[in-house]
Structure 1
Amino acid sequence: MQLPRVVEIKGIRVLTTHQIAESYEVKEIQISQNFKNNRQRFIEGKHYISLSGDELRAFKNQLEKIEVVKSRTSHLYLWTEKGALLHAKSLNTDKAWQVYDYLVDFYFRIKEEKSILTSTKPEEKELLEIDNPIRVFRELMELAECRGIKVQSATLQGYKSRLKDDKIAIKNNLSMNQVIFELAYELSHAIIHDKCGNMLDKEDWDKYHQRAWRAAFMLIEALSIKVAWGKGN
């Protein structure tokens, strides 16, 4: 399932009517009609954010190529996580509920979860002490080559790295230590979970993440020792 492009306003992730209709596989008019029929249940600032005038024009400019609704609209509603829930309730289809759960886990809350992970990663402090990170990076690249995995840099939204099939993409402009960890992390996924398919769609995603996380730390430690030993001989 493909995630919609990230749209944020005032630090809050939202969805346009077009995006939520596309995700729930309904027409935009159905989302608008849901809102009209259940207007008393929708609370501004909680379920939706309303834009008009200069604020709407500024928002459209920042969207670039994201389709909002009609280009000449004078009023725009942006739906929050709780707004998306009310629409799922109104539609009450298996597809809407399935997509809503997916959006909660991997669209609305991924930013919050990643900030928690970032603030509690003890290994990132350890990575600062890697002796000769270039050589450790080369060792990881050799491992990737041996596994038939291609590694490349990419412009990623919401992630520092991604693994798909036999390819690893690492976000541009990371520090060398961050690149090392992300490469080790995705290689750990590729080696340990090679027959698990798309892990992001599974309920046990957090277990997969924690397992690869620990394995990455151990892999970096082992390679650091190898590099240090090689220097002394």
Structure 2
Amino acid sequence: MNELIKINGREIAAKEWQGLRVVTLKDIDFVHERPEGTARKRFNDNKERFVEGEDFFKVKCSEVRPFFGQTPPNGFNPDADIVLITESGYLMLVKSFSDDLAWKVQRDLVNTYFRARAAVADFSHLSPQLQTLINLETEQRRQAALLEAVA
């Protein structure tokens, strides 16, 4: 997935995991102009409040590399874990970011990044045949990305 989305004048690569748009903790620090590690600290401080599989996913770097087409933020240690934050997790994580910039970035990230996928993914108004073709192409692209990552 190579689509770049501009938030607060900064570009981040669109990422999806299990059909959901996700961001990394490093992405959050980047778009919010926070020191590196700020989002991770907030996540760790409140980890018991986050629901795995709903607010975040914890996956091995070797699993995400083929999907993101890039080296994960912590380099490439295939056995290392990376935390992927969903929209609900993002909104809970940044509750404590209360300055004016944080409010602007939150609005932009939700409307431009997380919700953009939902708008694109609604093919219900298209014919079943066209929906099938779109789904086939999407699957072919996913498989091509996997093959490219393995090669």
Q: TM-score, normalised by structure 2?
A: 0.67
Show structure 2 runs of 5+ residues with no match.
Answer: 1-8, 127-151
Does the Cα contact within 8 Å between 1:3 and 1:107 map onto a contact in 2?
Answer: no
Does the Cα contact within 8 Å between 1:17 and 1:69 map onto a contact in 2?
Answer: no
Name the SS for the 2:58 alignment partner.
strand
Does the Cα contact within 8 Å between 2:64 and 2:72 map onto a contact in 1?
Answer: no
Quick check: 1:22 aligned with 2:10?
no
The aligned counterpart of 1:65 is 70
Show structure 1 runs of 5+ residues with no match.
Answer: 122-233
Quick check: 1:87 aligned with 2:93?
yes
The aligned counterpart of 1:49 is 57
Quick check: 1:107 aligned with 2:113?
yes
Deviation readout 1:13-41 (Å, 9 max, x if unpaired): 10012111101111231111101111222
Count of aligned positions: 117
The aligned counterpart of 1:38 is 46
Query: How far apart in 1 are the matches of 2:72 and 2:30?
Result: 11
CA drift at 1:63: 2.2
Query: How far apart in 2 are the matches of 1:3 and 1:105?
Result: 15
Which has the higher relative contact order, 1 or 2, with Cα contacts under 8 A spaced 6 or more apart? 2
CA drift at 1:78: 0.3
Quick check: 1:96 aligned with 2:98?
no
RMSD, matched Cα: 2.2
Q: Comparing both structures, which one devotes a greater share of its residues to helix? A: 1
Larger C-alpha radius of gyration, 1 or 2?
A: 1
Runs of 4 or more, structure 1, over 6 Å off, are none
Percent identity, please.
26
Deviation readout 1:44-64 (Å, 9 max, x if unpaired): 112111113xxx303123322
